[in-house]
Amino acid sequence: MKNILVIGATGQIGSELTLKLREIYGNTHVVCGYIPSAKPRGELRESGPFEICDVTNPEQIATVVLKHHVDTIYNLAALLSVVAEGRPQLAWKIGIDGLWNVLEVAREHECAVFTPSSIGSFGPETPRNNVPQDTIQRPTTIYGVSKVTTELLSDYYYRKYGVDTRSVRFPGLISYVTPPGGGTTDYACDIYYSAVRGEKFTCPIGKGTYMDMMYMPDALRACVELMEADPYRLIHRNAFNIAAMSFDPEGVFNAIKKYKPEFEMDYDVDPLKQANADSWPNSLSDVAAQQEWDWKAEYDLDKMTVDMLAKLREKLIR
């Protein structure tokens, strides 16, 4: 990777990944691609090049790729699961028509492409626990339908045209930097904000609902390590299960209570979020990622909780 374009660079993952990539590959080598309704600000804007790059506009993508001699595209434009369910056609347009645009540009200009998949790519018929790498994927959400299609289309472009496509199935991502917005797993991030603000947290996901989660530093490292992985070791490509921790609302609540004993939580279950969560697995097996590119998460629930509470205290209270 010499010159990188991040599409969706101002979003939940992009806002942090772009800065991490600039740290590794040099500021001038990483282009922040954004849409006008989500402009880059602060460090993201000041530390390197930025270009309007709408994933639904193939000419725009090609222009930026040519101008910056891009050889790797991180295609992060997407709607999260709850928002997508409200706007299924838009979710498809961004997720799949957008991916098609990216893959075509990548084919023509010989770029590698990373497009995230998700735990949402699984459905009710998938085994619930320790989900194997290769298994049934019959999702019931439009988010999941678009993620499975992403995986298939990316593999297709690799097989048919040799485009170097790679991907991971992200768990719910937790970060103190950019809030997710519109996902089913957002509660696992929001709960920390409430705890640090000294507020009671009302949980939209029911007790006993387990989902895989991951702290953002691990997620960012996964993106980079997979794209740097030796291609001859990769048996799979789109997309690898990766895992770090699996918990239900009580699990994360108790982890926070250990450090904030006064913290309180009650429940007001959101039926759409709950239906999404119920259709997703409890936990994934990431053995293939371990074997093929030495993946290993660094943060478990306790280590993440200590860091989240400290970083949010700095962000919200100082």
Catalytic residue among 34, 74, 143, 192: 143
Which listed residue (10, 184, 194, 279) binds ligand SER by CB under 6 A?
Answer: 184
Q: Tell me how far, at minimum, the Cβ of 71 lies from ligand SER, in Å.
A: 27
**Range in contact with ligand SER (rule: CB under 6 A) among 28-36, 56-64, 114-122, 291-299:** 114-122
Q: Which of residues 52-81 bind ligand SER (CB under 6 A)?
A: 80-81
- Determine the Cα angle at 159 with ends 158 and 160, to 5°: 100
Contact 35, 52 (CB under 8 A): yes
Contact 61, 6 (CB under 8 A): no
Give the residue among 110, 304, 150, 128 at the shortest CA–CA distance from 239.
Answer: 150
By beta carbon distance, the residue nearest ligand SER is 183
Which of 78-88 are b and which e, b meaning 16 or more Cβ less than 10 Å from the residue's Cβ?
Answer: bbbbbebbeee
Decide: helix, strand or coil at residue 306.
helix
Instruction: Report the C-alpha dihedral over residues 248, 249, 254, 257, rounded to 10 degrees.
Output: 150
Distance CA 279, CA 32 (A): 34
Give CA 241 to chain center in angstroms: 12
**Alpha-carbon distance 127 to 284, whole Å?**
9
Is 143 considered catalytic here?
Answer: yes
Closer residue to ligand SER in complex, CB, 32/80: 80
Is residue 209 a contact point for ligand SER (CB under 6 A)? no
Q: What is the DSSP letter of 96?
A: I
Q: Is 183 in the site for ligand SER (CB under 6 A)?
A: yes
Report if residue 172 touches ligand SER, rule: CB under 6 A.
yes
Q: Select 118 or 165, whichever has its Cβ closest to ligand SER.
A: 118
Q: How far is the CB of 58 from ligand SER (least distance, A)?
A: 26
Nearest approach, Cβ of residue 185 and ligand SER (Å)? 4
Shortest distance in whole angstroms from residue 232 CB to ligand SER: 30
Q: Which is nearer to ligand SER, 119 or 288 (CB)?
A: 119
- Residue 115 is a binding residue for ligand SER (CB under 6 A): no
Shortest Å, Cβ 8 to ligand SER: 14
39: amino acid identity, one letter: K
Residues that bind ligand SER (CB under 6 A): 80-81, 118-120, 143, 170, 172, 183-185
The residues annotated with a catalytic role in the active site are: 143
